[in-house]
Amino acid sequence: MILDLQLQVMSTMLAAGLVIGLNLTLYDRYITRSGSTGWRWVTDGVFWVVQALLVFILLFNVNGGEWRLYVLLSILCGFAGYEALVKKSFIYLLGIVDRVVKWVVKVITSIFTIFVFTPILWIWKLILLIAIGGFTVFCRILQVVGRIVAFPFRPFIQFSRKKGIFFAKKIKKWLNLLYNRE
């Protein structure tokens, strides 16, 4: 292998080690560690398989997939360089990004609440108010119509109520006499 190609492979693998360090920091920060160790083994396995595929694809594109000792050393040096030089700054940057993302989510949910949810809630309350108010008005109209229609028959209704009460008292007295004989 010529020297230019070896330097290209070495710089690519240094960058791959740096990217593996970045990915490891992201993985440790955002993958929650639950009590289930079985699930942790699965996620760790998937993470490292993806990292190995990343390195293999890069190496295959640069030199056809030839693996040498300096390739492994370059990856380790890239990872060590990340740990020594970049990790603290990257974690600080992630903290800033987290705060910005939380602020943006808060703003978007506030805008959604103000411009979408609140008008829908107002429309729903208006519909309920109209429906309930309309039902109340409908009941009042029925009462008025019932009084107007029943007005000519009012004397007969009052007479039948009085006679009903009169006859009910007579029936009650007769039943008491019937059942209370001794």
- How far, in Å, are 66, 79, 127, 128, 131 from residue 136 at the CA level? 85, 75, 14, 12, 9
List the chain domain ranges: 3-97
Write the pLDDT tens digit of every residue in 105-129: 999 999 998 888 888 988 888 888 7
CA 43, CA 111: separation in Å to the nearest integer? 36
Write the pLDDT tens digit of every residue in 33-81: 666 677 778 888 899 999 999 999 999 998 888 888 988 999 999 999 9
Question: What pTM did the predictor assign?
Answer: 0.58
CA 154 to mean position of chain CA atoms: 63
pLDDT over 90 for what percent of the chain?
40
Which regions of the chain does DSSP assign to beta strands (E)? Answer: none
The predicted structure's pLDDT at residue 34: 63
Q: What sign does the dihedral 65-70-76-77 (CA atoms) show?
A: negative
